[in-house]
């Protein structure tokens, strides 16, 4: 099935919110990691979201070091491959901080605009603007300007207020003030008032979530922050204004806490740290077990079969696929692809 249309993507989000599940949103950096995600979603009969960060795009472009070009390359690969799988895939870009809007986000939006002018589908379905480092009024101002442009191409914007702690993709918020780790109900109402009249958007409200690697129980989440914010939005603007919420920094979260957030409107959960590990771990295992075969030591020639990158990348993809499949189960999206007719 081709990458989801704008209408299909909106239906994905509406169904998830209505029925209490969320989509794993998988950061990818290559054809290999994208293939691992596609297989996982197909195996679990789950629709899903594949996303590219600024750093992921830069890596994918090789020595050219062009983050937008790398993201376009990955997106084109997913468009081609998604047609071979019987689930819906949405394409998204992750954390774009204000300094990268001009050379990352806007070239991708322009690419979609060019495609639409030719009668082709959108390149990406949605993009995240992370203006959380800005004062709220400036964050809202820039988000409104972006969404006004997005809406013309049926693109969805993801925004964030508050700060997700920890470090990801070179951005370090390990020492963020404690009060910034929690979005307030007032902020959630302001965002709804400002953006809802313009177009569809998702909202990464923060509730103590932290990027990075943590043991279960070490991340102190307060999911009730989301509940209270949604209640405030509903009281102020009506039930139809409740947000499509996004869960960032889920590593180290208890499954019970993840499930609690699903009841408060989380429809998308970003997964990166865990998939990085499960992609790398099988490679380490392969190399240690086949040390004398992947290296030409003591004058020997090694084993081409073992140092052929396809051999150990296959193991890497399998490990990542298994972790994403588990995420589909955890987020309750397994077996709920729209293509199966599961609309209730």
Residue 5: both structure tokens together: 């249309």
Tens digit of each residue's pLDDT (9 = 90 or more) over 187-197: 999 999 999 99
Average pLDDT, the chain: 92
Please report the pLDDT score of residue 254 as a whole number. Answer: 85
Query: Could you list the residue range(s) of the whole structural domain that residue 295 is in?
Result: 6-340
Rounded Cα distance between 183 and 174, Å, is 17
Alpha helices (runs of H) in 238-290, residue ranges in sequence order: 255-262, 273-289
Handedness of CA 280, 29, 17, 132 (dihedral sign): positive
Task: Answer whether residue 1 is part of any domain.
Answer: no
Q: Is the pTM of this model over 0.85?
A: yes
Alpha carbon of 11 to those of 23, 39, 231, 240, 342: distances in Å? 12, 22, 23, 15, 11
Task: Answer whether residue 262 is part of any domain.
Answer: yes
- Between 219 and 53, the more confident residue is 53
Residue 278 predicted with pLDDT over 90 = yes
Active site amino acids: 94
Element (H, E) at 126: strand 126-129
Tens digit of each residue's pLDDT (9 = 90 or more) over 58-104: 999 999 999 999 999 999 999 999 999 999 999 999 999 999 999 99
CATH of the domain at 284: 3.20.20.70
Task: Answer whether residue 41 is part of any domain.
Answer: yes
Please report the pLDDT score of residue 265 as a whole number. Answer: 98
What is the number of structural domains in the chain?
1
Q: Angle at the Cα of 324 (from 243 to 176), degrees rounded to 5?
A: 55
Label residue 113 by pLDDT band (50, 70, 90). Answer: very high
Q: Mean pLDDT, to the nearest integer, of 207-236?
A: 79
């Amino acid at each position: 099935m081709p990458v989801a249309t704008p209408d299909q993507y909106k239906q994905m989000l509406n169904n998830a919110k209505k029925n209490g599940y969320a989509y794993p949103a998988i950061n990818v950096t290559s054809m290999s990691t994208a293939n691992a995600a596609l297989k996982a979603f197909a195996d679990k009969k789950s629709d899903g979201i594949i996303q590219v960060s600024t750093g992921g795009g830069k890596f994918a472009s090789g020595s050219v070091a062009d983050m937008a070009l790398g993201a376009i390359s990955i997106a084109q690969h997913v468009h081609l491959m998604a047609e071979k799988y019987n689930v819906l895939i949405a394409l998204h870009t992750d954390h774009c901080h204000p300094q990268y809007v001009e050379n990352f986000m806007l070239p991708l939006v322009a690419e979609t605009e060019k495609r639409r002018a030719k009668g082709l589908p959108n390149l990406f379905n949605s993009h995240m603007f992370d203006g959380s480092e800005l004062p709220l009024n400036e964050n809202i101002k820039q988000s409104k300007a972006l969404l006004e442009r997005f809406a013309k191409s049926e693109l969805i914007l993801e925004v964030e207020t508050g700060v997700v702690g920890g470090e990801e993709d070179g951005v370090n918020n390990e020492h963020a003030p404690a009060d910034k780790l929690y979005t307030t109900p007032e902020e959630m109402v302001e965002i709804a008032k400002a953006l809802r009249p313009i177009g569809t958007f998702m909202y990464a409200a923060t509730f103590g979530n932290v990027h990075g690697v943590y043991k279960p129980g070490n991340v102190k989440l307060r999911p009730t922050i989301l509940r209270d914010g949604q209640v405030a939005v509903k009281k102020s603007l009506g039930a139809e204004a409740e947000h499509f919420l996004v869960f960032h920094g889920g590593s180290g979260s208890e499954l019970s806490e993840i499930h609690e957030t699903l009841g408060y409107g989380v429809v998308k959960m970003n997964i990166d740290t865990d998939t990085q590990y499960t992609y790398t771990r099988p490679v380490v295992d392969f190399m240690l077990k086949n040390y004398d075969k992947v290296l030409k030591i003591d004058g020997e020639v090694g084993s081409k079969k073992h140092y052929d990158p396809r051999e150990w990348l296959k193991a890497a993809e399998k490990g990542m696929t298994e972790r994403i499949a588990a995420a589909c189960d955890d987020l309750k999206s397994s077996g709920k692809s729209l293509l199966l007719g599961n609309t209730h």
